[in-house]
Amino acid sequence: MDVPKEQIAALLDNALFGSAQLLGSFLVSSSTVNAETSPHLKAENLILLGDALFREREYRRAIYYKKQNSATSRSSLSASNRSSSPNSFNISAINENEVKFKIASCHFALSETKVALVEMEGIPSKARNLQMSLLMAKLYRNTRHNRGAVTCYRECLRQCPYVIEAIIALAELGASAKDIILLFPQTPSRSGRAQLDHSDSSRWLQRYVEAQCCIASNDYKGGLELFAELLQRFPNNIHILLEMAKVEAIIGKIDEAVMNFEKVRSIDPYVVTYMDEYAMLLKMKSDYSKLNKLVHDLLSIDPTRPEVFVALSVLWERKDERGALSYAEKSIKIDERHIPGYIMKGNLLLSLKRPEAAVMAFRGAQELRADLRSYQGLVHSYLAFSKLKEALYAAREAMKAMPQSAKALKLVGDVHASNSGGREKAKKFYESALRLEPGYLGAALALAELHVIEGRNGDAVSLLERYLKDWADDSLHVKLAQVFAATNMLQDSLSHYQAALRINPQNEAAKKGLERLEKQMKGVDPDAPEEEEENEVEDADADQEETELL
C-alpha cells in the first residue's frame, strides 16, 4: 500500500485533523487499493477520510465520503456472497451502525434533524451505545417526539448516571426527581456501566436532580436553595453559578443575577453560555459600557453561537430596533431551541408595535419551556391589541404554573387594571402579591399607579416612600416624582427626578419628566409645542416645496 492507513489513524489520534484530511485524499486515491479487488480496504479508507473531515467540521464532505463507504460495503457484501474472496471476512470489521451514527452526527451538526433521525432509526435500539442514545434523544426532542426523547434519555441514565444533559432534559420534559434517581444503576454490574455510589460523597448528584426538577416545575425558590447548598460543596462551580444566575434573571432578582454572572466571568472569562441573559440584565441597568465590552468579548470568543447574536440584539436595540430584531432572528436560525432568542424577538416586536407577531415569538419560547418571562410577554402582547380574554387566560395559566409567585399574581392584576371596571380586582391581586413578597417593587409601583388613577395621591406617596429605605431604584424615584408633579409639589418632584438620574443617568422617563417639570416650574404649559420646533417644521416644508419645484 502506498499510504499506510495506520498513519492517518495516528494523525487522528493526535488531533492533527488537517494533516489527516490531506493524507486521506492520498489514501482513497491510491491505485493499489481497488474497490473491486479490495472493497473492505477501500471502505475503511473512506471511513478514515470521513472521520478527518468531520473533525475539521466539513460535515457535507464527511457525509459524502461516508456514504461512498456504505455503497462500497454493500457492493462488497454482494460480491462476497458470490465468491469466497480472502478479503471477504474483513467486511464485518466495518461497523455499519457506527457509520450511520457518524453520518447522522454530520446531519445534526448541519441542523438537518429529520435526515439525521432517518439515519439513526436505521440502527436497532439494542445496538445503540451511550453516545448513540444521547444523539437519538436530542433528535427526538428537536422534532417534538417527546415520548421517544424521554425513552432515550432514560436509557442514557441507565447506562451512566452522570450524563448531566439527560438529567436536565428529563426534568424539563416533566420527569420527577424520584423517577430520575430510580434510573441510576443500583447494584454492581459486570457490563462496565458507571455505578452510583449512594454514600454521602455522591449524594450531591441527587440534590442536583432535585434542583433541576424544582426549576423545571417553576419552583424557583426551592431550586435556588438546592443550588446554593451544592455551591457550598463545590465553591466557584461555573455551571451552578450560571444556573443560579439564569433563574435569578428570570424571576427579576437582577442584582443577584448580575453578581453571579460577574463572578463566572472572573473565574472563566471565555464562557459564552447564558451570556445573552447577562447582556439583557446590563441593558436593564443601563450599564452600556459593560454591555459593549461583553459583546466585544463574545464576538472574539465565538461569533457563531446564538448567545452572541442575542447579545448583539440587546446592544443594537437602543440604536436600531429593526437591526436588533434581525440579530434575534439570526440566533433562532442558528439554534431553534434557543429560548432567549424568542424572548428578545418578542420584546422587540412588542416595542415595534407588532403585538400579534410578538405573541407568536413568546409562544415559541413557551413551547420550548414555559417560564415567567414568556407568560409576561404573552400577557403584555395580548393587552397591546386589546385581547383581554386571552391576556387573562395567559395570566391565570402563569398563576397555576407558579402558585407561590408574586409576579404571577401581579400579571393577573395587570390584566384587570387595563380596564376601569377591573381596578378593584387589580388592587386585590397587587396587595396579595405584596403579602406574598413584601419587597416586590413591581407590585408596589403598579398599586401606586392605581392609587394615582383613582385620585388617591397621598396613598400612592405613603406606599412608595416605604420602599425608599430598602430600594435605590430609579423607577421608584421616577414614580414618586410623577405623583408629586401631579399634586403640584414641584420641588419634591424635582428632587426625585434628580435622584433617579443619579442612579441611572440613561433613564429616559426621568429625562423627559425633568424637562416637563422645568417648563411647569417656569409657568409654561409642558404640552405646548415649542416655537423653535414649529419653525423647524415650517423650514422643512419649504425645503420640500423647493425640491419639488426643482
The DSSP secondary structure of 114-156, one letter per residue, reads HHHHHHHHTS-GGG--HHHHHHHHHHHHHTT-HHHHHHHHHHH
Phi, psi of 382 (to 5 degrees): -65, -40
DSSP string, 362-379: HHHHHHH---HHHHHHHH
- The tens digit of pLDDT for each residue in 450-483 reads 999 989 999 999 999 888 877 778 888 999 999 9
The pLDDT value recorded for residue 84 is: 43
Would you state the cell numbers that stand for residue 539, as one nine-digit string? 423650514
Measured on CA atoms in the order 241, 245, 248, 250, is the torsion positive or negative?
negative
What value does the mean pLDDT take over residues 244-251? 93
% of residues, the chain, pLDDT over 90: 56
Taking all residues of the chain, what is their mean pLDDT, rounded to a whole number? 86
Q: How far apart are CA 173 and CA 196, in angstroms?
A: 23
Side chain identity at residue 59, one-letter code: Y
Q: How far apart are CA 241 and CA 264, in angstroms?
A: 7
Helix/strand/coil percentages in the chain, nearest 5? 75, 0, 25
- The tens digit of pLDDT for each residue in 203-245 reads 899 999 999 999 999 899 999 999 999 999 999 999 999 999 9
- The tens digit of pLDDT for each residue in 253-263 reads 899 999 999 99
The pLDDT value recorded for residue 88 is: 39
The pLDDT value recorded for residue 21 is: 86
In the predicted model, is pLDDT for residue 73 greater than 80? no
In the predicted model, is pLDDT for residue 532 greater than 50? no
Q: Looking at domain 438-526, which CATH architecture does it have?
A: Alpha Horseshoe (1.25)
Domain ranges of the chain: 438-526
Confidence of residue 529 (pLDDT cuts 50, 70, 90): low
The pLDDT value recorded for residue 177 is: 95
Give the CA distances from residue 462 to residues 4, 445, 452, 466, 488, in Å, rounded to whole numbers and listed in that order: 85, 12, 12, 7, 16
What value does the mean pLDDT take over residues 533-550? 42
Q: Which carries the bigger pLDDT value, residue 25 or residue 390?
A: 390
Note the residue count of the chain: 550
pTM for the full predicted model: 0.80
Confidence of residue 196 (pLDDT cuts 50, 70, 90): low
In the predicted model, is pLDDT for residue 544 greater than 50? no
The pLDDT value recorded for residue 75 is: 52
Q: Which carries the bigger pLDDT value, residue 202 or residue 341?
A: 341
Q: Which of 40-44, 47-51, 414-418 has the highest mean pLDDT?
A: 414-418
Residue 264: how many CA atoms within 13 Å on its side-chain side? 26
The pLDDT value recorded for residue 543 is: 46
Confidence of residue 34 (pLDDT cuts 50, 70, 90): low
- Residue 128's nearest CA partner among 92, 107, 146, 153 is 153
Lowest mean pLDDT among 109-113, 150-154, 247-251, 544-548: 544-548
Would you state the cell numbers that stand for residue 283, as one nine-digit string? 441593558
DSSP string, 65-99: HHHHHHHHHHHHHHHHHH---TTGGGGGGS-HHHH
What value does the mean pLDDT take over residues 516-540? 62
Lowest mean pLDDT among 78-87, 387-396, 501-510: 78-87
Lowest mean pLDDT among 215-219, 286-290, 319-323, 501-505: 501-505
The pLDDT value recorded for residue 64 is: 84
- Residue 71's nearest CA partner among 35, 25, 120 is 35
Place of cell 436509557: 155
The pLDDT value recorded for residue 471 is: 76
- Residue 382's nearest CA partner among 373, 374, 391 is 391
Contact 14, 6 (CB under 8 A): no
The pLDDT value recorded for residue 536 is: 45
Contact 338, 308 (CB under 8 A): no
- 56: Cα separation from own chain's centroid: 27
In the predicted model, is pLDDT for residue 77 greater than 70? no
What value does the mean pLDDT take over residues 373-381? 95
- 115: Cα separation from own chain's centroid: 25
Q: Which carries the bigger pLDDT value, residue 142 or residue 76?
A: 142
**Alpha-carbon dihedral 144, 148, 150, 156, rounded to 10 degrees:** -120
User: What one-character DSSP code corresponds to residue 201?
Assistant: G
Report the Cα–Cα distance between both ends of the chain, in Å, rounded. 81
